[in-house]
Amino acid sequence: MNTNFLQTPIEYLKGVGPNRADLLKKELGIHTFQDLINLFPNRYLDRTRYYKISELQKTNAEVQLIGKITHIKTVEQKRGKRLVATFADESGKMELVWFRGIKWIRENLKINDPYVIFGRANWFNDHFSMPHPEMELQEEHEKSLRSAMQAVYPSTEKLNSRGITNRVIIKLMEQLFVESKNNFAESLSNTILNSLKLLPKKEALFNIHFPKDATLLARAQYRLKFEELFYIQLQLLRKNLVHKSKIKGYPFTKVGEYFNTFYSEHLPFQLTTAQKRVIKEIRKDVGSNAQMNRLLQGDVGSGKTIVAFMSMIIGIDNGFQACLMAPTEILSVQHYNSLLDWCNKLKISISILTGSTTTSNRREIHENLENGSLQILVGTHALLEDKVKFKNLGIAVIDEQHRFGVAQRSKLWQKNKKPPHILVMTATPIPRTLAMSVYGDLDISVIDELPPGRKSIKTVHRFDANRLKVFRFLKEEISKGRQVYIVYPLIEESEALDYKDLMDGYESIVREFPLPEYQISIVHGKMKPADKDFEMDRFVKGETQIMVATTVIEVGVDVPNASVMVIESAERFGLSQLHQLRGRVGRGAEQSYCILMTGHKLTHDARTRLETMVRTNDGFEIAEMDLKLRGPGDLMGTQQSGVLNLRIADIVKDGEILKIARSYAFQTLKEDPALEHPENAPVKHTYSQLAKYRNIWNYIS
C-alpha cells in the first residue's frame, strides 16, 4: 500500500470529522491513519459464547445474549430519570438500564426486533439487570467484521464522556480496513518471515484488531512485537556501525612498557577470568581505527577500577593522555587515591581537578595538560570546563555515566582533533533487556565475578522487635575491631520527618553505644559540606566505629574495615538502592553482613524486595527483579529510560523476543550493511519511513 495513504490525517476517515479528530489527537495521540492502525488493544473480551438468561450466575461477569425488547419505561428518581427496558429470551427476562442519553436511546430502540447485547450482568432485587449495554441488531451483528474475541482499546474518561466509546473505536477500525482493503505493505524480509514462521503484515494487523481465535491472536501479537523490537535494534546497531566506520579514533598499536611492567610486577591480585576477558575486548577496540564506545558493567567491588587503569596505561604507552571523570568529589578523590599508588610505582604523572582545587593548582594542572607532561587527570565535571585543554587526550573513562548527560560527554570529544576512546563504567547492574535497548549503540562488557578472597555478604531481614539482638550483634563485631554503617531513608517530600527519624535513631544509638567506649559519626543532607567531609574522614580513618547516615553514603565510600550495614525502614528503599548500600560493606577479607530492619506492616512488593535481597547477591538478578516490580521508566529515571513509548512490546515480559529481534537485526546488517539487497527492500523502505515519520528517538530518550 502507498505509504502516503497511512499518513492521511485522521479527520478524513469516514465517521471522524474535525471534532472527533481533535479529541483523538489530544487524548490518544492519533493524528493519522497510521496512528489508528497502531492503536493496539489492551485486552480482549471473549464473544464466542451467547448465554441464555436462565444460565446467568451472580458473579457480575460480562456476558453476551440474544433476545428482544418487550417493554420500555422511564422511572423518576431523586436526581433525574432512568430508562428501563425489559429484555427477554425463551428462557426468561431481565432489565436493561440507562442513566444517560435517555431521550436518544428511547427514540432508537426497536421493540420485538432481535438484538445482540453485551455488558455486565448485576444481580439486584431478585433479578438480573445490565446498565448501559452494548447493543446491536442481530442482522447488523452478523454482517460486521467483528470477531469472536472483541478488542478493548486504551481510552480516557474524556473520550467516553464525549461519546467516543470502545464501540466507536471498533467501528473506526472497521472503516479503516474497508478503505485500505487490508492492503498493508510487508515490512520484513522473506528470510525473516520464513525463518520464524511469522504471519504476513496484513494478516497480523487484521488479527490483532479482529482476531478469529486465540491462536491467531497470539501469532499476530508475536509478529508485531518482533517487528517493533527489530526496528529499534536495527537503528541502534546501525548507529553503532556508522559510528565505527565514520568516527575514527586513535589506534593504540602497541602494548608497551607501562602495561607490561604493571601486569608482571605490580598487580595487587590475580585478575579474574572476567577481568581478563574485558581487558581483551578493550584492547581489540582501541587497537582498531574506530573510536571505542564501550559500557563496562560490574557489581560494586568487582574490580572495574583496575580494568579502567589498565586501559588508560595502554593509551599512555602509545603517547596519549587519559582522564577519569566521576559524578561527585568524594568519588573522584577515591579514584585518585586508588590510582595514585599504582602511578607512583610506574612513575606516571597524575593530578586531580575538582571544584575545590585551588587557583594555583589549577594553573599548574592546565599548563602541564597542555604541554603533555601530565599523563592522567582525575576529576569531576570540572574536567569539562573550556579552560581544560589536553595536548592529546586518547582515552576517557566516565564513572556512573547516567549522572552525566550526552551533551556533557560530547564536550570531552571537543577537546581533541579526533574523539578519544570512551569507556563508561557503572556499578548499577542494568538488566540485559534494558541494556540492549537503552545502551544498544554501545558495546557492552560485563565483569560478572568477584575477585578471589572476597566473601559474599550475608543478608538477613529483622523486624523492629528484634532490635536489641541486632545491637548485641553490632557490639560483638565492634569488639573484633570492625566498623558499622546505620542508614536511614531520605525522601525529599518529607524531609522534616526523615530528619526527625534520623535524629531519634541517632539518640537511641548513642544511648546504647555510650562514650567513651564507642565513637559515632553522623552525616546527613542538612550539614555543611566541610562538616560532612570531616565526619566521613573520621570514619574512614577508623576514629569512629559507627556511621549513622542518610543515603549520602550510597556512592563513594570505601572502608574495607566496615563489615556491617544496617538499613533502617528497609521497605522504603528500592531494590537497586538496597543493593548499592549493601555494596558499601564486604570490601575487606572479613565476613560482612547486611541487616534489613522493618516494621511488621509490609506491602507485597516490599516483601518481594526484601526476600530478593536475602536470597541473592547477584546484581543482575536483582536488577531483573527491580525491572519487573517498577517497570523500565522508573528504573532508569525517565530521561534515560528509552522504553516508554513502545506500542505493543513490553521490555520486561518480551525479553526473549527482544534477544531474537536483536540477533536478526545484527545478522541482517552483517550481511547487508546498506540494506541494498532486493531481499531487504521492505526492510529498507520501512526503516526510511520510520526515520522520516517516527524517529527512533521517540522511543529512546
Each residue's pLDDT tens digit, 216-256: 999 999 999 999 999 989 988 888 887 778 888 889 999 99
Domain match, 496 and 387 both: no
Task: Enumerate residues 6+ apart whose C-beta is below 8 A from 252.
Answer: 286, 287, 314, 315, 317, 318, 320, 394, 421
The CATH number covering residue 66 comes to 2.40.50.140
Q: Which of 140, 52, 38 is nearest to 94 (CA)?
A: 52
What sign has the CA pseudo-torsion 408, 623, 602, 475?
negative
What is residue 144's predicted lDDT score, i.e. its pLDDT?
72
Alpha-carbon span 64 to 530, nearest angstrom? 71
Alpha-carbon span 662 to 644, nearest angstrom? 19
- Kind of pairing between the strands at 376-379 and 421-426: unpaired
How many other CB atoms are there within 10 angstroms of residue 252's CB atom?
26
* Domain of residue 513, residue span: 458-616
Q: What is the pLDDT of residues 318-338, one digit of tens each?
A: 999 999 998 888 788 889 998
Q: What is the pLDDT of residues 452-478, one digit of tens each?
A: 777 889 999 999 999 999 999 999 999
User: Are the beta carbons of 607 and 463 closer than 8 angstroms?
Assistant: no
Which range of 53-57, 193-197, 381-385, 571-575 scores highest in mean pLDDT? It is 193-197
Q: Which of 326, 320, 337 is nearest to 425 (CA)?
A: 326
Q: In angstroms, how far is CA 399 from the centroid of its own chain?
A: 19
Q: Which of 477, 466, 311 is nearest to 399 (CA)?
A: 311
Domain match, 116 and 179 both: no
Domain match, 509 and 576 both: yes
84 - beta bridge partners?
73, 97
Strand order in the sheet with 293-298: 350-353, 376-379, 321-325, 393-399, 421-426, 293-298, 443-447
Domain match, 488 and 400 both: no
Domain match, 281 and 358 both: yes
Kindly report whether the peptide bond that precedes residue 516 is cis, defined as omega within 30 degrees of 0. yes
640 in a structural domain: no
435 in a structural domain: no
690 in a structural domain: no
What sign has the CA pseudo-torsion 270, 272, 275, 276?
positive
Domain match, 27 and 167 both: yes
User: Are the beta carbons of 371 and 318 closer than 8 angstroms?
Assistant: no
The CATH number covering residue 387 comes to 3.40.50.300
The secondary structure of 204-267 as a DSSP string is HHHHHHS-SSHHHHHHHHHHHHHHHHHHHHHHHHHHHHHHHHHSB--------HHHHHIIIII-
Alpha-carbon span 93 to 495, nearest angstrom? 61
476 in a structural domain: yes
How many other CB atoms are there within 10 angstroms of residue 257's CB atom?
12
Amino acid at 291: Q
Task: Enumerate residues 6+ apart whose C-beta is below 8 A from 527.
Answer: 535
Task: Return the percentage of the chain with pLDDT > 90, whole number.
Answer: 52
pLDDT tops 90 at residue 511: yes
What is residue 416's predicted lDDT score, i.e. its pLDDT?
73
Domain match, 312 and 418 both: yes
Task: Return the percentage of the chain with pLDDT > 70, whole number.
Answer: 91
Q: What is the pTM of this model?
A: 0.66
96 in a structural domain: yes
What is the rounded average pLDDT of the residues 433-440?
Answer: 70
The secondary structure of 422-457 as a DSSP string is EEEEESS---HHHHHHHSTTSEEEEE-SPPTTPPPP
Alpha-carbon span 693 to 6, nearest angstrom? 11
- When divided into structural domains, the chain yields a total of 4
697 in a structural domain: no
Domain match, 406 and 376 both: yes
